[in-house]
């Protein structure tokens, strides 16, 4: 117990308090440090200190948005399930990018890598499902001469469908080429696709033979095989309209493709590589000035025509932003109301110790909120309830100590001896009773349905912080304040009489 009252511990508590306040008020610290107005929107918020985003991460029920759980079915045979899941996540990521969602969260789940969870803030379920479920068809074209064409990747030529499509591709992936110096994209074709690709590449090379890297005449448009998403014969028929061709030839736009109507013109272009040689065997490689990112983008783009698996919707939650904002307001109100009631009650019932416990409670609330920002804990309605409930529970340890304190004073101890004895004797009960809550939280956190995990996490953090707050903070405050004689009056301590000797 002497350890708890020692200065290192006190300094530690003070340090925690200061850090908590800085984290809690990070937005204001940033505004003041940069001489920005304290109200209204300013640039650079939320502040980013060394990678720490110091703001409350709101769950979808508070921010508004859509949550979807997908079941993955029809895994391609013979491929690593975790990789397939990862590839699917990349494709979904690409597709939802078009929705302009801030911080979309797409996570793998499921014991067998067979689930994907998608959280999109500020998007309704219909938009989300349309974008994610969109099926774009990957098509290969060759180029045929058309003098009236002035736009597009190959002026003077228009594309022609080859019959080779995404159905003929089994996978595409970014990789480092064998020399280890540059990024390439590897494509594997299915058996029938391999045959068709072989024929096409042979025709390419035959159009203008030679080494395409050194011989200028070997670099003709007919030697290119171009990859598009959703390119149709109608698009090709409009190729002589240069503005139309330019639009279609711009980089593919998944959002536009997902929402396209017969009248919209979307970017559909993926890549236009030259064929160096005939490729038999169904393993092709696209090289160029790729970075890791651009190679990955292209691979995802090629894959995005068709997801490697089928997606089946398991559940959908859509919360409107207004409802979310309302929930935030209500839970803040409930939290403040709860805190206020507890503080008033403690002060009336326990007087000076109650006041000190209330201060400890404020310390507790500040520290827990800082932890929520730092970890970061994604706050949901249930999570906030867990926190508010833990405020009520945090009082428990203080009550145990104070009741014991009154008993010890009644038994005739001096104030400081009574404080010491009260904390020491209340400790086993505090420890044991909180153990049961922690056990419950751990179990809920591991096996509970996902909706209640947030509750378990915040409650557990709250219970831990309440232990520190009651055992260390309240105890120290009691010892410091009651060291002076000014407060040693029965009326202030809520006891019948005080031993003055």
Where in 120-149 is the site for another protein (CB under 8 A)?
Answer: 124-126, 129-130, 133
Restricted to residues 48-87, the positions that interact with another protein (CB under 8 A) are: 61, 69, 71
CB of 460 to another protein, least distance (A): 11
- Residue from 173, 260, 396, 494 touching another protein (CB under 8 A): that is 396
276 binds another protein (CB under 8 A): no
**Least Cβ distance, residue 314 to another protein (angstroms):** 5
For residue 231, the minimal CB distance to another protein (Å) is 26
Rounded to the nearest 5 degrees, what angle is found at the Cα of 336, between the Cα atoms of 335 and 337? 90
Cα separation, 285 vs 185, whole angstroms: 6
Q: Using CB under 8 A, pick the residue from 107, 145, 148, 410 that binds another protein.
A: 410
Among 379, 459, 477, 482, binds another protein (CB under 8 A): 459
Could you give the CA distance from residue 268 to residue 249 in angstroms, rounded to a whole number?
Answer: 6
Q: What are 79's two structure tokens? A: 């491929």
From the CB of 443, what's the least distance to another protein, in Å? 5
Contact 4, 475 (CB under 8 A): yes
Which one of the spans 2-10, 193-201, 273-281, 386-394 is the region binding another protein (CB under 8 A)?
386-394
| Site for another protein contains 422 (CB under 8 A) | no
Q: Rule CB under 8 A: is residue 378 a binding residue for another protein?
A: no
356 φ, ψ (degrees, to nearest 5): -65, -40
CB nearer to another protein: pick between 280 and 313: 313
Return the range that interacts with another protein (CB under 8 A); candidates 181-189, 193-201, 257-265, 491-499: 491-499
Q: CA-CA-CA-CA torsion for 58, 451, 470, 331, nearest 10 degrees?
A: 50
Distance in Å, CB of 20 to another protein, minimum? 21
As measured in angstroms, the least distance from the Cβ of 391 to another protein is: 6
Establish how many alpha carbons lie within 13 A of residue 403's alpha carbon, considering only the half-sphere containing its beta carbon: 10
Of 65, 245, 290, 41, whose CA–CA distance to 143 is shortest? Answer: 245
Alpha-carbon span 445 to 449, nearest angstrom? 8
d(CA 86, CA 358): 49
Question: How many chain residues bind another protein (CB under 8 A)?
Answer: 78
Q: Which is nearer to another protein, 322 or 485 (CB)?
A: 322
The window from 41-49, 266-274, 282-290, 426-434 that contacts another protein (CB under 8 A) reads 426-434
Q: Look at residue 143 and give its three-state secondary structure.
A: strand
The CB-of-457 to another protein minimum distance in angstroms stands at 12
What CA–CA distance (Å, rounded) separates 117 from 107? 5
Question: Does residue 455 belong to the site contacting another protein (CB under 8 A)?
Answer: yes
For residues 226 and 378, which CB has a smaller minimum distance to another protein in the complex?
378
Residue-level length of the chain = 501
Contact 422, 401 (CB under 8 A): yes
Q: How far apart are the first and last CA of the chain?
A: 23
Whole-angstrom distance, CA of residue 103 vs CA of residue 210: 49
Q: Which stretch binds another protein (CB under 8 A): 38-46, 182-190, 200-208, 401-409?
A: 401-409
**With left for phi above 0 and alpha for psi between -120 and 50, is residue 436 left, alpha or beta?**
alpha
On the question of a cis peptide bond just before residue 376, with omega within 30 degrees of 0, the verdict is yes
Q: In this chain, which stretch among 241-249, 264-272, 300-308, 437-445 interacts with another protein, using CB under 8 A?
A: 437-445
Find the binding residues for another protein in span 288-327 (CB under 8 A). 313-320, 322-323, 326-327
Q: Which is nearer to another protein, 288 or 494 (CB)?
A: 494
Which is nearer to another protein, 391 or 472 (by Cβ)?
A: 391
**Exactly one of 452, 464, 492, 494 binds another protein (CB under 8 A); which one?**
452
Among 101, 67, 100, 104, which residue's Cα sits nearest to residue 89?
104
């Amino acid at each position: 117990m002497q350890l708890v009252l020692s200065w290192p511990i006190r300094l530690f508590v003070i340090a925690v308090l200061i850090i908590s306040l800085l984290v809690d008020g990070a937005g204001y610290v940033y505004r003041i440090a940069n001489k920005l107005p304290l109200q209204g929107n300013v640039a650079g918020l939320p502040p980013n200190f060394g990678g720490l985003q110091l703001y409350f991460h709101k769950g979808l029920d508070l921010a508004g948005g859509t949550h979807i759980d997908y079941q993955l079915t029809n895994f391609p045979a013979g491929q690593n399930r975790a990789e397939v899941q990862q590839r699917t996540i990349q494709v979904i990521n690409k597709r939802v990018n078009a929705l302009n969602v801030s911080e979309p969260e797409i996570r793998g789940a499921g014991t067998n890598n067979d689930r994907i969870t998608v959280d999109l803030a500020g998007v309704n379920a219909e938009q989300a499902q349309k974008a994610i479920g969109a099926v774009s068809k990957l098509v290969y074209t060759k180029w045929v001469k058309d003098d009236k064409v002035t736009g597009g990747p190959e002026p003077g030529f228009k594309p022609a469908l080859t019959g080779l499509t995404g159905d003929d591709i089994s996978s595409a992936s970014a990789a480092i080429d064998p020399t280890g110096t540059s990024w390439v994209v590897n494509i594997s074709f299915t058996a029938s696709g391999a045959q068709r690709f072989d024929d096409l590449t042979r025709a390419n090379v035959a159009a203008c033979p030679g080494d395409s890297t050194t011989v200028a005449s070997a670099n003709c448009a007919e030697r290119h095989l171009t990859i598009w998403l959703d390119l149709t014969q109608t698009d090709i028929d409009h190729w002589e309209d240069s503005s139309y061709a330019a639009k279609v030839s711009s980089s593919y736009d998944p959002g536009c493709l997902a929402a396209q109507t017969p009248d919209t013109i979307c970017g559909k272009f993926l890549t236009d590589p030259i064929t160096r040689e005939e490729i038999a065997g169904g393993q092709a490689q696209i090289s160029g000035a790729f970075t890791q990112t651009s190679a990955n983008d292209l691979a995802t783009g090629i894959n995005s025509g068709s997801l490697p698996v089928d997606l089946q919707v398991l559940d959908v939650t859509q919360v409107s932003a207004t409802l979310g904002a309302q929930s935030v307001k209500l839970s803040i109100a409930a939290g403040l109301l709860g805190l206020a009631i507890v503080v008033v009650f403690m002060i009336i019932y326990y007087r000076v110790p109650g006041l000190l416990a209330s201060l400890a409670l404020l310390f507790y609330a500040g520290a827990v909120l800082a932890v929520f920002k730092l970890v970061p804990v994604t706050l949901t309605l249930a999570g906030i309830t867990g926190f508010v409930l833990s405020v009520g529970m945090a009082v428990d340890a203080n009550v145990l100590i104070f009741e014991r304190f009154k008993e010890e004073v009644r038994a005739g101890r001096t104030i400081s001896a009574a404080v010491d004895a009260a904390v020491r004797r209340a400790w086993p009960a505090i420890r044991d009773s909180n153990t049961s809550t922690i056990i419950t939280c751990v179990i809920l956190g591991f096996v509970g349905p996902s909706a209640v995990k947030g509750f378990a996490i915040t409650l557990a953090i709250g219970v831990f912080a309440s232990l520190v707050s009651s055992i260390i903070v309240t105890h120290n405050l009691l010892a410091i304040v009651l060291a002076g004689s000014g407060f040693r009056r029965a009326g202030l301590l809520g006891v019948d009489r005080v031993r003055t000797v």
